Structures are given as structure tokens and as C-alpha cells.
Structure 1
């Protein structure tokens, strides 16, 4: 069995403005941004996201998709339902925990094809990343293939670099260090419980670069495979070093060299990363990474033709649909993916 595992920051996938099941505190904190977020806009956003997801794995769609910036189960289920209509061979189901700790109420979660994997719901965990003002939890789930082989996955969305002081990256670096420590701790616990060769994939929007200390020191996400396989401690190999740049086409058909998964102020950043455990490098987990398969999933319709821009974002209306929403947009991040296979 071969599987495509992907991750995508869906950029503010909120249920429509009038959704009756919205938590009151989210309705209050997001009132301005969601003004004008109609059912029509919500469905358009879902359709745009789905049109990219179905392109993955040569048009078959991913086997497992980790996501972040999704408000609740309702919004995620709408995406799964739309994907199942477009891909009848798939049976996408959800792994979601409403963490209720993030300031904007967004969560990390997974979509997975139930025809390919079973989710062990008794091994679903929502790991609290300690922060005074709250942030996203790390969602952990164990998937089981028909052969019985297991994959433990952790979806991440680390604290952002935004700050009222203007020095966001430096000011908030400690928060991401804490997130990295949290991930490393649970990686170690997984190995203690399930064995050192367990297949573990940690993927997400880390809001830091692959070379930042939160990733390299605190999460133990390393650049060299040998440094991972030769040690007895819990370390990850960081696949993002394999997709530092990608050549693609923009929406107008021009060749475009991308240097990251998102662009801000004309600067590219590689915040969206996939970390794999030693068992996926050696094959001793029963799974192995397919060499050279890690990539940024940047398809022409979602790639801006403007210099200094990357993904074409969809946006939220904030009371001005015409000014703030691009109906031809998708997200402010590109997805990333890797293929794995049973051995």
C-alpha cells in the first residue's frame, strides 16, 4: 500500500456568519471578521479548497490530510462531503477535537479516507500547548492500515509571529519553543509506549522556518537523516529541507520559482513542514518514506502571477466582501505532502 499524506493551512475556514452552533465567545471575538460571511461565500470557499485537494496524488486526492485554521466540525464536514462528491472512490471522514483554547477558535484536525485507514478513536489526543493567552492544541491520532500497520500523526499549528509591539518573531519565539517542546515530549512518549521504530509523522504550520530553534532544538526536527537514524533518542527528520524551492507555473501560465509555502510582505517563508520519525527512514516501522516525494503542492490556479506573492488567498469579508474576499482565491498557504509505502 502506498499513501499520500498532506497538510494544508485552510486559512480561516469558518462556518457561515449565522451558524447557530457557534460558541458565543467565538461569535464575539470574530464578529467583525465574519460580517458578510454568507452561506454562499462559505460554499465557494469549500469548493475552491476542494478543487485543489482533488488534484493531489495524480487526481485521486490525499489518503490523509492534516489541516489547521478550521473553526469546527461543521465546517470540516462540509469540506469532507464536497470531496466525497468529487471523488466517489474516497470516503473521507474526520478526526477533530474542539480544543476551545485558541483566541480565534480555530483547530487542528485530519481528513482521512476510511477505505484506506481506520482511525483508533481511543488513541485520539488533544495536547495542550501552554500559553497564557491560549493557542491551538496538537491533535494526535493513530491510523491503522488494512494490514494492521499503524501510523501515528500529530497535526500542529504553532503560535503566530504577530505582535502589537512590532517585533513579532522575536517576541513570540518562546511560545513556539514551548510548542516544539510539547511535540518532542509526546514524540518521546509515543516511542516509550509503542516502541522506538513506531511510524510517527508530525506535520503542520509551525510559524517558524526549518532552521529556527523551535524546530531544530526544541522539536528535534533535523536536516540530516543520519543524525536521526544513528541516535537512540526521539528525533525527527525534517522533510521541508527537500522542498526549499519548487518550480511551477502561475495562474497565467508563466514559469514561477517558489521559495516557501507562504509570502508576507514580499518575503517567502517555509512554515509548513512535515517531520518523520526514524522508523519511516529505516522501514523498521513497516512504513517507509518514498525518497524524493516530499513536495509543495502548488498548482497553477492558486499561484499568483505577481512578484512577491505566492498563494492566492480567499480572505474573510470583515464587512467588505468586494474589498477583502477573492472568489478565485484559496488560502494564504500552499499545501505540502509526502508519499509513504508499506514495506
Structure 2
């Protein structure tokens, strides 16, 4: 069995304005941003996201898709329904824990093909990243293939670099260090419970680069495969180093260089990463990553060539649809993916 594992920051996938089941504190916090976020815009956003996801795995769609920046189960189910309609061979279902800790109420979650994997709901955990103000949880779930082989996955969305001080990256670095420590702690606990060779994939929007201390020191996400396979400690191999110089095609078919998964102006950042345990490098877990398969999923319609080669965002109206929403946009992040196979 071969599977495509992917991740995408969906950029503020909220249910429509006035959604009756919205928690009051989210309605208050997001009142300005969601003003004008109509049912029509919501459905357009879902359609745009779905049009990209169905392209993955040569048009078959991912087997497991980790996501972040989704408000609730309603919004996630709408996306799953869109995908199941576009890919009749798939049966996408949800793994979602509604978190009340993020200041905007956005969650991490998974969509998975129930024809290919079973989600062990008794092994669904939401790990709280402690900090002074609200933050996102890390969602952990165990997936099981028909063969019985297990795959433990953790969806991450670490604290952002924004701050009122103007020096967001430095001011908030400690928050992401804490998130990295949290991930490393649970990686170690997973290995204690399931053995050192267990297949673990931690993926997400880490809001830091692959070389930042939160990744390399605190989460133990390293660049050298040998550093992972030669030790019995809980270390990850960071696949994002393999797609650091990814290529895409523009609308005319010309090859373009991608330096990141999101852009601030013309500056690229590689915040969306996939970390794998040693068992996925050695094959001792029963799974092995396919060499050279880690990539940025950037398709021509979603790539902007105005400034850099960044993704075309969809946006939120914030009261002004014409100015703040691009109906031909998708997200402010590119998806990332890797193929794994049973051995």
C-alpha cells in the first residue's frame, strides 16, 4: 500500500457570518473579519480549496490530509463533502477536536480516506501548548491501515510571529520553543508506548523556519538522516529540507523556483514542514517514506507571479468583499506532501 500524506493551512476557513452554532466568544472576536462572509463566499472558498486538493496524488487526492485554521467541524465537513463529491472513490471522514484556546477559535484537524485507513478514536489526543495567551492545540491521532500497520500523526499550528511590539519573531520565539518542547515530549511518550520504531509524522504550520531553534533544538527536527537513524532518542528527520528548492510551472508552462510555502511581500518562508520519525527512514515501522517524494503542492492556478512566487490568498471580507477577498484565491500557504509505502 502506498499513501500520500499532506498538510495545508486553509487560511481562516470559517463558517459563514451568522452561523447559528458559532460560539459567542468567537463571534465577538471575529465580528469585524467575518462581516460580509456570506454563504456564497464560504461555498466559493470550499470549492477553491477542493479544486487543489483533488489534484494531489495524480488526481486521486491525498489519503490523509492534515489541516489548520479551520473554525469547526461544520466547516471541515463541508470540505470533506466537496472532496467526496469530486472524488467518488474516496470516503473522506474527519478527525477534529474543537479547541477553545486559540484567540480566533481556529483548530488543527485531519481529513482521511476511511476506505484506506481507520482512525483509532480512543487514541485521539489534543495536546495543550502552555503560554500566557491563547494558542492552538496539537492534535494527535493513530491511523491504522488494512494490514494493521499503525501511523501516528500530529497536526501542528504553532504560535504566530505577530505581536504588538513590532518585533514579532523575537518576541514570540519562546512560544514556539514551548510548542517544540511539547511536540518532542509527546514524541518521546509515543515511543515509550509503541516502541522506538513506531511510525510518527508531525506536520503543520510551525511559523518558524527549518533552521530555527524551536525546530532543531526543542522539537529535535534535524536535517541529517544519520543523526536520526544512529540514535535511539526521539528525533525527527525534517523533510522540508528536501523541498527547499522546489519547482512549479507558471500558466505558460515555464518552470519557476519556489523558495517557500508562504510569502511576506517578496520574502519566502518555509513554515509548512513535515517531520518523520526514524522508523519511517529505516522501514522498521512497517512504513517507509518514498525517497524524493516530499514536495510543495503548488499548481499553476494558485501561484502568484506579481511579487515572488507565493500563493494566491482568498482572504476574509472584514466588511469589504471587493477589497479583501479574491474569488480566484485559495490560501496564503501552499500545501506540502510526502508519499509513504508499506514494507
Interval containing the TM-score (normalised by the shorter chain) = over 0.9
Would you say the 8 A contact 2:156–2:202 is kept in 1? yes
Kindly provide the CA deviation profile for residues 66-86 of structure 1, in whole angstroms up to 9, marking residues without a partner as x. Answer: 000000000000000010000
Kindly provide the CA deviation profile for residues 133-181 of structure 1, in whole angstroms up to 9, marking residues without a partner as x. Answer: 1100000000000000000000000000001111000000000000000
Q: Could you say what secondary structure the match of 2:188 adopts? A: helix
**Closer/same/farther in 2, CA of residues 316 and 252 from structure 1, 3 Å limit:** farther
Q: Could you say what secondary structure the match of 2:193 adopts? A: helix
Would you say the 8 A contact 1:290–1:341 is kept in 2? yes
Report deviation, 1:305: 1.8
- Superposition pairs of residues 1-343 of structure 1, within 5 angstroms: 1-251=1-251, 253-343=253-343
Would you say the 8 A contact 2:258–2:309 is kept in 1? no
Q: Could you say what secondary structure the match of 2:52 adopts? A: helix
Kindly provide the CA deviation profile for residues 21-67 of structure 1, in whole angstroms up to 9, marking residues without a partner as x. Answer: 00000000000000000000000000000000000000000000000
Kindly provide the CA deviation profile for residues 70-111 of structure 1, in whole angstroms up to 9, marking residues without a partner as x. Answer: 000000000000100000000000000001100000000000
Q: Could you say what secondary structure the match of 1:171 adopts? A: helix
Q: Could you say what secondary structure the match of 1:177 adopts? A: helix
Report deviation, 1:309: 4.8
- State the distance in 2 between where 1:13 and 1:2 align: 29
Report deviation, 1:232: 1.1
Would you say the 8 A contact 1:251–1:302 is kept in 2? no
**Closer/same/farther in 2, CA of residues 95 and 111 from structure 1, 3 Å limit:** same
Would you say the 8 A contact 2:257–2:309 is kept in 1? no
- State the distance in 2 between where 1:289 and 1:128 align: 29
| Bigger mean CA offset, 260-269 vs 300-309 | 300-309
- State the distance in 2 between where 1:253 and 1:193 align: 49
- State the distance in 1 between where 2:328 and 2:180 align: 35
Would you say the 8 A contact 1:251–1:305 is kept in 2? no
Would you say the 8 A contact 2:302–2:329 is kept in 1? yes
Q: Which runs of 5+ in 2 are unaligned?
A: none
Report deviation, 1:254: 4.1
Q: Could you say what secondary structure the match of 1:231 adopts? A: coil
Kindly provide the CA deviation profile for residues 205-244 of structure 1, in whole angstroms up to 9, marking residues without a partner as x. Answer: 0000000000000000000000001011100000000000
Report deviation, 1:265: 2.3
Report deviation, 1:308: 2.6
Q: Could you say what secondary structure the match of 2:306 adopts? A: coil
CA RMSD of aligned residues (A): 0.7
Report deviation, 1:250: 2.6
Q: Could you say what secondary structure the match of 1:187 adopts? A: helix
Q: Could you say what secondary structure the match of 2:12 adopts? A: strand
Q: TM-score, normalised by structure 2?
A: 0.99
Would you say the 8 A contact 2:298–2:334 is kept in 1? yes
Report deviation, 1:257: 1.1
- State the distance in 1 between where 2:208 and 2:249 align: 26
Would you say the 8 A contact 1:254–1:305 is kept in 2? no
- State the distance in 1 between where 2:278 and 2:226 align: 9
Q: Could you say what secondary structure the match of 2:152 adopts? A: strand
Kindly provide the CA deviation profile for residues 290-338 of structure 1, in whole angstroms up to 9, marking residues without a partner as x. Answer: 0000000000000002133500000000000000000000000000000
- State the distance in 1 between where 2:138 and 2:91 align: 24
Q: Could you say what secondary structure the match of 1:50 adopts? A: helix
